[in-house]
């Protein structure tokens, strides 16, 4: 009756997944609901959701930086990313676009880690 991820069991005891505290299940649903309605539970659940959202945003930002570095390796000079008009375009138009690093940072931090196909001379 509770959504997945709200409660879990371990060693015959029931735990609140967010708070990691035991929840009395002998008195029925009343104690479950009492805990779920408590301010401590709501606060802890919000903290977990916030940290998860922050981690997801950081992961998306890192992917954007790698993708942007890879695109610039296709004969687009990295310095073009430093042009003010292009930066103004990225801010509202691209998810996480307001925090695109400078060309120097992309070159220093992301280019060495990027796995590009090797180019052989013919």
Residue 41: per-residue pLDDT: 83
Give the 3-state DSSP-derived string for the chain, with helices as H, strands as E and coil as C: CCCCCCEEEECCEEEECCCCCECCCCCCHHHHHHHHHCHHHHHHHHHHHHHHHHHHHHHHHHHHHHHHHHHHCCCCCHHHHHCHHHHHHHHHHCCCHHHCCCHHHHHHHHHHHCCCCCCCCC
pLDDT range class, residue 62, cuts 50, 70, 90: confident
Residue 120: per-residue pLDDT: 46
Question: For the residues 88-98, what does the mean pLDDT come to?
Answer: 69
pLDDT at residue 108 tops 80? yes
Rounded Cα–Cα distance for residues 37 and 81 (Å): 49
């Amino acid at each position: 009756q509770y959504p997945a991820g709200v409660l879990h069991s371990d060693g015959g005891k029931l735990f609140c997944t967010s708070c990691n505290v035991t929840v009395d299940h002998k008195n029925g649903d009343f104690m479950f609901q009492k805990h779920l309605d408590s301010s401590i539970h709501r606060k802890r659940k919000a903290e977990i959701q916030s940290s998860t959202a922050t981690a997801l945003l950081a992961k998306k930002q890192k992917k954007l930086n790698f993708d942007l570095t890879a695109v610039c390796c296709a004969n687009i000079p990295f310095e073009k990313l430093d042009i003010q008009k292009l930066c103004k375009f990225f801010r509202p138009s691209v998810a996480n676009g307001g925090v695109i690093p400078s060309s120097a940072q992309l070159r220093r931090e992301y280019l060495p880690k990027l796995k590009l196909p090797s180019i052989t001379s013919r």
